[in-house]
């Protein structure tokens, strides 16, 4: 199995996702600041993987703090966490991972600082393991929605590389294949960072799961030709009403799926739900440098001086979402009620 991120020997080791598929190299982060930079630079990306990296980052940060009292220790930890939380704004899992670690520190406040650091290390390791288990559960629930023979269209990478392993949307595909179903994946290339062509295609090929690469603009064509049975994507943040923030272009795919009567499924862990936010309107959308749109693999694809925009995510309104697949089960409309129920059943 692809191990996206590991925590061992006092460092976070992650596959450098900026360099796949050309080379499989690892980046070692020894400090919380290095983890923050890796998240910002998309060395590690995908909401659940960001949450896992954050938890490990907080443990690394804690290890570097010299303090004799819980109060002094916690004040410095909070300061480091505030900086880490700014690495990327959209994925709910970043704040989730940080908050889980802060809670762990507070829970053990009565222990000596060295012991609190050890508890934080154990918690970060638990987050890594749990993420894989959660994805397997999502896969188990989600695969039941796919027919014996299905073409699944996906956008971006919500696979093993976007999590600690197995994946959310691609976890559904993997679980269906494990259940003996014949699944073919159509992967949108996902401009401008090419998570689809570089990462989704790479990891499915590693597992021998049939995958065909298409450009983002081709999805409507294949839907119209009735060559797509279901769309399955991941999410960066899901609001209380079921509006979904995911990679830029997801909304376009959802609108087309709706137009053609194709089910549009979102696979995500409960840690991606943000029920404090009523609707997608309030979800912060990351704006990245237009430069990243103009330059592809180190080559400029537009005239010098081109002004480009790069909102990294969009919002898919809940009316276009058929179901949201979580580790606690499947939520269907009305999502205000079903999502709330699912968080309570955990
Ligand atoms: O900018 P990225 O690559 O971090 O965006 C990732 C996505 O949009 C994924 O679909 C989402 O985080 C879900 S990953 C299981």
| Atom of ligand 1 at shortest range from CA of 46 | 12
d(CA 44, CA 49): 7
Question: 316 near 243, Cβ under 8 Å?
Answer: yes
Q: How far is the CA of 161 from the centre of ligand 1 (A)?
A: 10
Give me the CATH code for the 5-136 domain, please.
Answer: 1.20.120.420
d(CA 168, CA 327): 10
Overall pTM surpassing 0.95 (yes/no): yes
Q: How far is the CA of 199 from the centre of ligand 1 (A)?
A: 11
d(CA 173, CA 187): 12
Q: Minimal CA–CA distance to 104: which of 88, 81, 83? A: 81
Over residues 138-176, the pLDDT tens digits come to 999 999 999 999 999 999 999 999 999 999 999 999 999
Q: How confident is the model at residue 346, as a pLDDT?
A: 61
What is the assigned CATH class of domain 139-343? alpha beta
Over residues 12-58, the pLDDT tens digits come to 999 999 999 999 999 999 999 999 999 999 999 999 999 999 999 99
Distances from the Cα of 326 to the Cα of 3, 86, 212, angstroms: 21, 26, 26
| Atom of ligand 1 at shortest range from CA of 312 | 1
Which one of 246, 254, 288, 316 would you pick to mutate in the ligand 1 pocket, going by the greatest count of ligand atoms within 8 A of its CB? 246
Q: How far is the CA of 176 from the centre of ligand 1 (A)?
A: 21
Q: How far is the CA of 166 from the centre of ligand 1 (A)?
A: 14
d(CA 254, CA 256): 5
Over residues 240-289, the pLDDT tens digits come to 999 999 999 999 999 999 999 999 999 999 999 999 999 999 999 999 99
Ligand 1, pocket residues at CB < 6 Å: 45-48, 91, 156, 158, 162-163, 168, 195, 233-236, 246-247, 312
Which one of 39, 51, 131, 156 would you pick to mutate in the ligand 1 pocket, going by the greatest count of ligand atoms within 8 A of its CB? 156
Q: How confident is the model at residue 3, as a pLDDT?
A: 87
| Atom of ligand 1 at shortest range from CA of 233 | 10
Over residues 202-234, the pLDDT tens digits come to 999 999 999 999 999 999 999 999 999 999 999
| Atom of ligand 1 at shortest range from CA of 156 | 10
Q: How confident is the model at residue 1, as a pLDDT?
A: 77
Over residues 62-121, the pLDDT tens digits come to 999 999 999 999 999 999 999 999 999 999 999 999 999 999 999 999 999 999 999 999
Annotated catalytic residue 207:
no
Q: Where are the domains of the chain?
A: 5-136, 139-343
Q: How confident is the model at residue 124, as a pLDDT?
A: 98
Out of 16, 28, 236, 314, which one is annotated catalytic?
236
Q: How confident is the model at residue 231, as a pLDDT?
A: 99
């Amino acid at each position: 199995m692809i191990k996206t991120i590991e925590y061992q020997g006092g460092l976070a080791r992650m596959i450098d996702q900026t360099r796949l598929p050309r080379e499989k190299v690892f980046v070692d982060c020894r400090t919380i600041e290095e983890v923050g930079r890796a998240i910002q630079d998309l060395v590690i990306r995908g909401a659940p993987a960001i949450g896992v990296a954050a938890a490990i980052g907080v443990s690394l940060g804690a290890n570097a703090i010299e303090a004799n009292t819980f109060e002094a220790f916690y004040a410095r930890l909070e300061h480091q966490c505030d900086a880490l939380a700014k690495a990327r704004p959209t994925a709910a899992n970043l704040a989730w991972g940080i908050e889980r670690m802060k809670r762990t520190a507070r829970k053990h406040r009565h222990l000596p600082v060295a012991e609190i650091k050890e508890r934080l290390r154990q918690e970060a390791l638990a987050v890594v393991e749990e993420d894989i288990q959660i994805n397997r559960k999502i896969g188990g629930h989600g695969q039941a929605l796919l027919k014996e023979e299905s073409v699944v269209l996906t956008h971006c990478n919500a696979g093993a590389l976007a999590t600690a392993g197995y994946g959310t949307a691609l976890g559904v595909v993997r679980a269906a294949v494990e259940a003996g179903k014949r699944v073919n994946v159509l992967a949108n290339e996902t401009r401008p960072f090419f998570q689809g062509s570089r990462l989704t295609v790479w990891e499915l090929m590693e597992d021998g799961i049939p995958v065909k690469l298409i450009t983002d603009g081709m999805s409507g064509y294949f839907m119209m030709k009735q060559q797509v049975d279901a769309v399955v994507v991941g999410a960066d943040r899901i609001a209380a009403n079921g509006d979904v923030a995911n990679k830029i272009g997801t909304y376009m795919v959802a609108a087309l799926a709706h137009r053609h009567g194709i089910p549009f499924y979102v696979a995500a862990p409960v840690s991606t739900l943000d029920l404090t936010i009523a609707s997608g309107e309030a979800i912060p959308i990351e704006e990245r440098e237009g430069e990243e749109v103009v330059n592809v693999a180190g080559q400029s694809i537009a005239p010098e001086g081109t002004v480009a925009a790069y909102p990294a995510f969009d919002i898919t309104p809940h009316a276009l979402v058929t179901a949201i697949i979580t580790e606690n089960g499947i939520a269907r409309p009305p999502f205000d009620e079903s999502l709330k129920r699912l968080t309570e059943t955990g």
